[in-house]
Each structure stands twice: as structure tokens, then as C-alpha cells.
A and B are shown apart, each in its own frame.
Chain A
């Protein structure tokens, strides 16, 4: 039987009113010292109207957010197989280290003599990233992956300009690329030229070659690519772009598949961002903060943006201005030094694993993905033949004629206790389902996942549509009307 409770609560799932509906502007959840009542120095600019910001006291606030938290899925709760997102376990040692006052309670512009340990940490993380990639320099400051892409493309722009090649504007981007690649190229002032894909899910090298012209500035290629496959002709691609006088930007979103197995410098890459929030386990936090350092080849290194850290034997120094050794720097991307809190977490993670552990990370990540691929390929339809890297890609052919869509299938996974996989991406695969288990899932969990996926695939094929129609059925919310939200946007609580 279904019971409508008087409060709207459902046992452990408590009701979640907006704080504006029960908070009060007459109270506060903090106690402060008493102001002295000094005459102000505001020059008549004192705030006129109250902002209408209600407060909750501490016990109320705690409950408000804990109730909200219980409506979120999380890695710590279950498997989060979002392809291209690398949702791995977030070690709590990292959190503890980032909160040491020596890292969390220091100001970005303190005299450098008072932050030598912080500069040492940045230097140490840079050293790890350079050794893992074999590259020449690293720009640490980009705040996220897409910001790192922008950094890399601006370094390429600066390198071309320095060679007098201002007219080169074209960037080759495969159709399967993540949306940030073309968006970044445009934001950096380039024009996007799409490159075709082969039937086996890789860059079509003939098409790539045909599209290189004297206007070609660079290519942006994800490797392993968004189909979860390694671009085995990557060295040919690098040679082609270099022979044409352009640069090779590699999107490092999928670095988790190869970290410790191959150094990207050995593949001919000129620039690659590294998502510390993917490969190096810093938490995603419901959509950020991220961190996207960019490693650069010798050709691009002089153009890296300030700031960076050097060790001149007399301690660590921050190079903050475009002068001296930084005279060719393309500029500055952000205020201050970037995502220090993420640097601490990432270094803590790298040191914990060590070089041997990181090699095992990529091997287990690839093993887990292939185990899923092998265990599901008879009931679902893999998008491409052969083995995959760290993510397994299926299309929706197996759902043909069932009336069940990729979206329905994904939403039914929620009822099974799993976060959906990445859907409808990459765009080159019809009804794509991209599954990235990561190395931190046990075989036990993978077997549960496989059991669920097989069950769902078989249910769809046997026309048992009840579990797909309007799924999810068991989640805290039913399917939400996204069209309504976009048609009549309500982006804040009315006053």
C-alpha cells in the first residue's frame, strides 16, 4: 500500500523545504563580538535595502543539509560508471592533508619566505607530472580541464605568433571529441575543422591528412579517445601535424587508462591537460572544483603562462611576472597560483600509489572495463570490435524494436542502485552508453553491476517495459520535466 504521510516525509527521506521557506531574517546561526559603534568610512554607500537572506541556526542548518545530502548519489555509496569522468574513490588522507593549516590557511600573496613548503609542494607535484608524461614544462594554474585546454591552445597560439604565423587559424578536431574541444578552440580564436572517424572508432588518418592545409595551426585529439580506444596511429598523426608546422594538443581526460604505461612525450604530444579530479582522485564535489595542469613540450614551454615555481638552490621562488625567463609567457590565466587545495590532494594520492601503484592503477582500470565489455557483449552491442581501454562503449542496437531508449535504460539503472553511465556521448555512436568503472571497483561490485545490466538488457528484449517506463521508480524524485525548466526558467526563489 502507498501511504501519503502528513509531512511529506518518507521515513529516512525527510522533507526538504527550501531554506527560504522556513529560515528567518530575524535570527542567525553565528555569534559574533559586539561592534563598537564607530563612525563609518563608507562615504554614504551604506547598503539601503536588506538583502532578504534568512538564516538557520546551527542545528537547523545541519539538518537542512544532511536531509539534502541524502538525495544525492555518491561514489562512497555505489558504483559511478560515468564514461570520460573517471569517478574513482577519493582517499580521505588527501582531505586531511589539504586541511593542514600549513596548506589551507596560507595566503597566496604572503612573502615567499613564509610559504616555502607550499612552493615545494607545487614543485614536487610538477616534477611528478613531468616524469609521468616525459614533457618539458607544466603550467599548473588552470582551474579545470577545459581551462587547461584553453591554456594549451593559447600556448600554441603564442608559439605560432612567435614564428610569424598569425594567419594559422585552423584546428583539426575529430567528430568524436568532447564538446569542450571545439568550444575551447573557438574561445582561443581558432576555427574548427572536423575530422572523420574510421569504422573501428579511430581518427581517419587519410581524412586528417587531407584536411591539413597551410592554415593549420594544431590538432586536438583525445587519447585514449572518447570511444575508449587508443589511437594506435597517434605517432603518424603527430608526425603529420608537425611536418605541417602545427602542434599536437592531446586532451588528457582519459589519462587514467595509460598513466604509468606510456609517457605522452613519446607519442609526439606538444600539450596535454591533466584532470587532477579524474586521474589523481581529487573529489568531484558535485561539479567542481577541478584542476587542469597542462604539460608542454620543449616547443611550447617558453610560452607557458605565469606563475610557476623554480628552485634556484636558494629556496623556491614563484615566477609571477612576464619578464626575464618568463618574457615569452603568453600571460596569466587566473588570479594567484591555481588550485592549491587540489595540488595537495593529488600529490598525496601520487605519493601513496608510487610509480608502481600508478602503473597498477591503469592496468586495473583497463582490466575492469574489459571485464565489463566481455561480460556484456552477448546481451548488449559493443560499438566497436576488439578490446577497449578504460571504458567500454555500447550502442543502442540491442534495444532496437524494444521501445526502450538509452535514456530509459540508464534511468532503470538508478533503480538498480547504480549511477547511470554516460549517455549519448560520444555523438558518433547511436544511443551511446559509455561505461567507465575505474580501478577502484572490486570484482564483487563489477559482478553485481554485470548482473543488473544483463537483467535490464534481457528485460528490454522480452518486452518487460514496466521497469523502463517513467524510470526511475525508486529514486527520491521521479523523472523531472527538463523541458518545462528550460521553457520557463525559474532560477531563484521569488522574493
Chain B
């Protein structure tokens, strides 16, 4: 087998060194009744690289990649152009096949890039500090909710109606089991400001989103101030990080904990993962943060270096008293983010963000011109919600059958929301062309024929 360096002579001589006559003597602690007498049944045996590539290639061939069709899906994952340099660097052995940098003398590459990542994320979101990444946006949101309850020592958390339903679900299961009371407001296109009236003296946090799941962008300053006034924290969530190349960052709006998905920068769609969760907050909360942190220090010669720090928050030291059980971050995806961001810089980021916004403006205008289609989102970055005269799921399927991936029905995320069966979420990015928009209009018009 091509991944196993030992040959039978090696094995024989090693067994002699150990002092046993055959390998099974080393497995004798396994209860005899449970030991298998041969390979696990009903599974294939060893295969060549060529055979595996052929079989997996066949599976891959049954899917329609975003690049092959007019593509408008968003709702938490976005198709962007990632420079070829990014994937080249993250496949360098020294990054790809290294471990969590617990031995800083031989991990400065990872540690310095994490420090640069933290700096970029903090500056982009306009927050004091950012951690070295979370699993994804949804789990970052969940951890933020738990952290807010810990900081405020309160137990009630209010979610706006603009939160991505998957983010709500992920936060809900984590919060529910440790006795946090969840108040979930009904889905609403412009659903953020409604949280303010629910904040009271028992509120640990409000969770609001910008851009929200319907693409709406909202000034969250008043919500943040209202939370502060009642001793609650504000948690600001986003799924499209590219937005902050153009719109006001949530830290600047006074949000206490800013969390979201970083996939758009550096990372492919990957059918939902791996992605990279971003987590940023105020300096005063650093000892309450979940996840890893890279920090600057010096070595014995006085040279600057970096280490993982404040690990007394973490599970390997604190065990059941840790701020989180998290052990893994999303290292390589964070590296991809930071390389892409380094190539962009604020200039390239802004240019790209403007292209996203313009593509969305053109898409919204084109769709709004179709009889029976109503654009629901007024202020947006690169994503809008539209209301169709018929069920959005059926329309999306018809468009897909016609070779257009024309968005995500909101009911795919939350099928219990009353009155949202006809709502379609549509994202456009810098990869969207005028031809794509024209094809979307045609496909949607055809799909709606007979319905209007």
C-alpha cells in the first residue's frame, strides 16, 4: 500500500525487537469476542490512485459547479474570485501539514500569519481584538451568545428576525442546554430595529445582523446604545464579510461582539465547509473570549516572535471551567483569508466590494422590472430578497432545470415562517456578469409563465 512504508521484513524485525511473535499479541487487550478476524466486511479493498480518482471524479461530475452557470445563490455562502496565489500558498507543505502552533520556535510561520489575520480582522470589523478564527460563522455566533451570558451573568438573549435561521439554530442548541432563555423575533426583511423594545434589565444580549439574511443593511448604533443602557451586550452577526469593504463596520456602530462568516475572502464554496468563523470584540473582554489567540512576545535573544496566548481560558488548562470546549480552529481557512486580504488591501477590497454592490443593484433593477416580482430589500450590499407570485422552491427548481442557479428560497432555511414561501434570496458578486443577469431574468420570466 502506497502510504505504508513498512515492508514485511521491517515488520518481522520490529516484532522481534518488541519480543512478540505476531502482531495480534499487541492487540490482546481488545476483548476476544469483539476482535475481528479479517478486514471489515462489505467494504472494498485497496485501490490504485487512478481508480480512486476515477470514482470520485464521477461523483464530482454529477454536480453543477457555480462557475458553469449563471449563479445567484448566497444566504450565507458566496461565490467570489479567489486569486490562484492563495491556493498555491495554502498547499505549501509547511502550512498544510503543520499542527496547531504549540511549539512556537518551529511554528513562527503559522503564528505570524495568525497575528496578521487577527490584525486584519480587527481592522476590517473596526474592533479592538479578533481571535485566530472559529469553525464558521454559525458556531462563532453560538459562542458569542454563550460568552455574553458569561460576561453579563444574565440568561436572556434576544434574536432579531433578520438572523440567518441556521445561525439561530446553532446558537439555540448551545444556549438552551445551559439554561439561556431565547427570545426569537419573527422573520422580517427589515427586522433589526424591532429588538430594541424587548431589551430589559434581564437581557444578556441582543443578536442583530448586518447585512441580515434578507440582505438588508441597517445602522445598528441605536440598538447597541439601547443594549448598553440596560447593561446588555450587543452581538452583531454577518454572513458576507466582503460587505465591509464598502459599508460601515459593526464595531464602528458600537457593537460589543462582532461575529460572522469569513468564507467570501480566500475560501471556496465547498458545499458548506470548511469555512472560517470571525470573532472580534472589545479589549476588556479578551479573557472571556473563546478560541485561540496569537500574541506578540520576544525570544531569548530579544527578537520579536509570536505565541499562542491567554490559554488559561482554554479547555486543555481549565477543563470544565473553560470558556469553550473548542480545541481546533479553522487555521488553513484563516490563512487563505489573510493571504487573499493581503493581496486585496483596502484598495482592492473596496474595488471588489463596489463591483459586488453594482452587480446587486443591476440584478435588483432587472428583477424588479418583471411583472409580479417585488424586490423587498431596500438598502443592501450584494444580496436581496424578492417576493414571487408563486412558491419560490418550485421556481428555483424550474430555473435550475433551465441551467440557471437562481438563488435560495427562504423556506429552505426556515420552512415554518408564515408568509415567506414565495420569498427568494438572490446574491450577486464581482463574478456576476450582465449576461448572467439577463439569463436570470429570462429563466425567472419563463418559470413564472402561467403564474401571473
Task: Please report the C-alpha to C-alpha distance between residue A56 and residue B348 in the assembled complex, in whole angstroms.
Answer: 11
* B99 touching A263, Cβ below 8 Å: no
Q: Mark B84-125, 1 if CB is under 8 A from A, else 0.
A: 010111111111111111011111111011011011101110
Query: Which of B132, B335, B345 is within 8 Å of A23, CB to CB?
Result: B345
> Would A70 and B67 be within 8 Å (CB), given that A108-B269, A351-B44 are in contact?
no
* A355 touching B63, Cβ below 8 Å: no
Query: Which of A46, A103, A443 is within 8 Å of B5, CB to CB?
Result: A443
Contacting residues, chain A, for B103 (C-beta < 8 A)? 73, 410, 414, 419-420
Q: Is B42 in the interface zone, CB < 8 Å from A?
A: yes
* B63 touching A115, Cβ below 8 Å: yes
Q: Is A209 in the interface zone, CB < 8 Å from B?
A: no
Contacting residues, chain A, for B106 (C-beta < 8 A)? 71-73, 414, 419, 472, 475-477
Quick one: which of A410-441 are within 8 Å of B by CB?
Answer: 410-411, 414, 419-420, 425, 439-441
* A288 touching B63, Cβ below 8 Å: no
Task: Please report the C-alpha to C-alpha distance between residue A298 and residue B393 in the assembled complex, in whole angstroms.
Answer: 34
Query: Which of B1, B318, B405 is within 8 Å of A110, CB to CB?
Result: B405
Give the interface segment out of B51-59, B151-159, B200-208: B51-59
* B40 touching A38, Cβ below 8 Å: no
- The distance from the CB of A408 to the nearest CB of chain B, in whole angstroms, is 13
- The distance from the CB of A467 to the nearest CB of chain B, in whole angstroms, is 14
Task: Please report the C-alpha to C-alpha distance between residue A411 and residue B115 in the assembled complex, in whole angstroms.
Answer: 23
Query: Which of B43, B173, B330, B344 is within 8 Å of A355, CB to CB?
Result: B43
Task: Please report the C-alpha to C-alpha distance between residue A116 and residue B34 in the assembled complex, in whole angstroms.
Answer: 37
* B246 touching A232, Cβ below 8 Å: no
Task: Please report the C-alpha to C-alpha distance between residue A324 and residue B35 in the assembled complex, in whole angstroms.
Answer: 38
* B89 touching A30, Cβ below 8 Å: no
Give the interface segment out of B227-235, B309-317, B439-447: B309-317
Query: Which of B112, B123, B292 is within 8 Å of A68, CB to CB?
Result: B112
Q: Is A183 in the interface zone, CB < 8 Å from B?
A: yes
Task: Please report the C-alpha to C-alpha distance between residue A275 and residue B311 in the assembled complex, in whole angstroms.
Answer: 22
Q: Is B160 in the interface zone, CB < 8 Å from A?
A: no
* A440 touching B35, Cβ below 8 Å: no
* B286 touching A491, Cβ below 8 Å: yes
Q: Is B369 in the interface zone, CB < 8 Å from A?
A: no
> Would A32 and B66 be within 8 Å (CB), given that A16-B108, A109-B73 are in contact?
no
Q: Is B435 in the interface zone, CB < 8 Å from A?
A: no
Quick one: which of B394-414 are within 8 Å of A by CB?
Answer: 396-397, 400-401, 405, 408, 412-413
- The distance from the CB of A403 to the nearest CB of chain B, in whole angstroms, is 18
Give the interface segment out of A362-370, A393-401, A452-460: A362-370
Q: Is B374 in the interface zone, CB < 8 Å from A?
A: no
Contacting residues, chain A, for B83 (C-beta < 8 A)? 29-30, 58
- The distance from the CB of A254 to the nearest CB of chain B, in whole angstroms, is 13
The bracket for how many chain B residues form the interface is 35 or more
* B358 touching A38, Cβ below 8 Å: yes
Q: Mark B313-352, 1 if CB is under 8 A from A, else 0.
A: 0111111111011111111110100010111111111011
Q: Is B174 in the interface zone, CB < 8 Å from A?
A: yes
Q: Is B4 in the interface zone, CB < 8 Å from A?
A: yes
Nearest A residue to B378, CB-CB = A43
Q: Is B145 in the interface zone, CB < 8 Å from A?
A: no
* B345 touching A261, Cβ below 8 Å: no
Contacting residues, chain A, for B173 (C-beta < 8 A)? 154, 305, 330-333
Query: Which of A41, A374, A475, A492 is within 8 Å of B379, CB to CB?
Result: A41
Query: Which of B2, B60, B272, B396 is within 8 Å of A338, CB to CB?
Result: B272
Query: Which of A16, A26, A341 is within 8 Å of B347, CB to CB?
Result: A26
Nearest B residue to A371, CB-CB = B14
Q: Mark A453-495, 1 if CB is under 8 A from B, else 0.
A: 0000000000000000010100111111110111001111101
Contacting residues, chain A, for B452 (C-beta < 8 A)? none
Nearest A residue to B360, CB-CB = A41
Contacting residues, chain B, for A80 (C-beta < 8 A)? 99
Task: Please report the C-alpha to C-alpha distance between residue A27 and residue B245 in the assembled complex, in whole angstroms.
Answer: 15
* B405 touching A107, Cβ below 8 Å: yes
* A263 touching B40, Cβ below 8 Å: yes
- The distance from the CB of A34 to the nearest CB of chain B, in whole angstroms, is 9
Task: Please report the C-alpha to C-alpha distance between residue A338 and residue B330 in the assembled complex, in whole angstroms.
Answer: 13
Contacting residues, chain A, for B55 (C-beta < 8 A)? 351
* B294 touching A367, Cβ below 8 Å: no
Contacting residues, chain B, for A212 (C-beta < 8 A)? none
Q: Is B30 in the interface zone, CB < 8 Å from A?
A: yes
Q: Is B167 in the interface zone, CB < 8 Å from A?
A: yes
Q: Is B21 in the interface zone, CB < 8 Å from A?
A: no
> Would A47 and B344 be within 8 Å (CB), given that A179-B315, A289-B330 are in contact?
no
Contacting residues, chain B, for A132 (C-beta < 8 A)? 40, 43
Q: Which of A38, A70, A111, A491 has the most CB of B within 10 A?
A: A491
- The distance from the CB of A172 to the nearest CB of chain B, in whole angstroms, is 13
Q: Is A163 in the interface zone, CB < 8 Å from B?
A: no
Q: Is B45 in the interface zone, CB < 8 Å from A?
A: yes
Q: Is A36 in the interface zone, CB < 8 Å from B?
A: yes
Q: Is B136 in the interface zone, CB < 8 Å from A?
A: yes
Nearest B residue to A446, CB-CB = B14
Task: Please report the C-alpha to C-alpha distance between residue A339 and residue B333 in the assembled complex, in whole angstroms.
Answer: 12
Q: Mark B42-80, 1 if CB is under 8 A from A, else 0.
A: 111111010111011111111111111001010111010
* B108 touching A183, Cβ below 8 Å: no
- The distance from the CB of A351 to the nearest CB of chain B, in whole angstroms, is 5
* B274 touching A143, Cβ below 8 Å: yes
* A72 touching B107, Cβ below 8 Å: yes
Q: Is A137 in the interface zone, CB < 8 Å from B?
A: no
Task: Please report the C-alpha to C-alpha distance between residue A123 and residue B73 in the assembled complex, in whole angstroms.
Answer: 24
Contacting residues, chain B, for A411 (C-beta < 8 A)? 105
Query: Which of B19, B38, B166, B355 is within 8 Å of A35, CB to CB?
Result: B355
Q: Is B373 in the interface zone, CB < 8 Å from A?
A: no
Contacting residues, chain B, for A145 (C-beta < 8 A)? 327-328
Q: Is B31 in the interface zone, CB < 8 Å from A?
A: yes
* A53 touching B349, Cβ below 8 Å: yes
> Would A186 and B321 be within 8 Å (CB), given that A117-B61, A330-B173, A352-B52 are in contact?
yes
Query: Which of A55, A131, A440 is within 8 Å of B342, CB to CB?
Result: A55
Task: Please report the C-alpha to C-alpha distance between residue A82 and residue B295 in the assembled complex, in whole angstroms.
Answer: 23
* A286 touching B98, Cβ below 8 Å: yes
Task: Please report the C-alpha to C-alpha distance between residue A407 and residue B108 in the assembled complex, in whole angstroms.
Answer: 19
Quick one: which of B179-200 are within 8 Å of A by CB?
Answer: 179
Task: Please report the C-alpha to C-alpha distance between residue A412 and residue B351 in the assembled complex, in whole angstroms.
Answer: 49
- The distance from the CB of A31 to the nearest CB of chain B, in whole angstroms, is 9
- The distance from the CB of B206 to the nearest CB of chain A, in whole angstroms, is 19
* B108 touching A93, Cβ below 8 Å: no
Q: Is B366 in the interface zone, CB < 8 Å from A?
A: no
Q: Is A75 in the interface zone, CB < 8 Å from B?
A: yes
Query: Which of B66, B98, B332, B430 is within 8 Å of A105, CB to CB?
Result: B66
* B309 touching A489, Cβ below 8 Å: yes
> Would A184 and B247 be within 8 Å (CB), given that A66-B89, A287-B331, A288-B331 are in contact?
no
Q: Is B219 in the interface zone, CB < 8 Å from A?
A: yes
Contacting residues, chain A, for B331 (C-beta < 8 A)? 284-289
Query: Which of B77, B115, B244, B362 is within 8 Å of A493, CB to CB?
Result: B115
Contacting residues, chain B, for A76 (C-beta < 8 A)? 93-94, 96-97
Contacting residues, chain B, for A96 (C-beta < 8 A)? 53
Contacting residues, chain B, for A68 (C-beta < 8 A)? 108-109, 112-113
Contacting residues, chain A, for B223 (C-beta < 8 A)? none
* B342 touching A23, Cβ below 8 Å: yes
Task: Please report the C-alpha to C-alpha distance between residue A281 and residue B319 in the assembled complex, in whole angstroms.
Answer: 27
* B172 touching A331, Cβ below 8 Å: yes
Nearest A residue to B407, CB-CB = A109
Q: Is A271 in the interface zone, CB < 8 Å from B?
A: no
* A77 touching B93, Cβ below 8 Å: yes
Nearest B residue to A150, CB-CB = B325
Query: Which of A110, A183, A286, A470 is within 8 Å of B335, CB to CB?
Result: A286
Interchain residue pairs A-B with the least CB separation, the first 8: A55-B345, A102-B60, A336-B272, A285-B332, A117-B62, A43-B379, A108-B272, A28-B348
A-B contact pairs, 6 of them (CB 8 A): A47-B246, A64-B342, A114-B64, A182-B320, A285-B335, A389-B26
Known A262-B36, A286-B99; further 5 A-B contacts with Cβ < 8 A: A62-B89, A105-B268, A146-B325, A258-B27, A358-B40
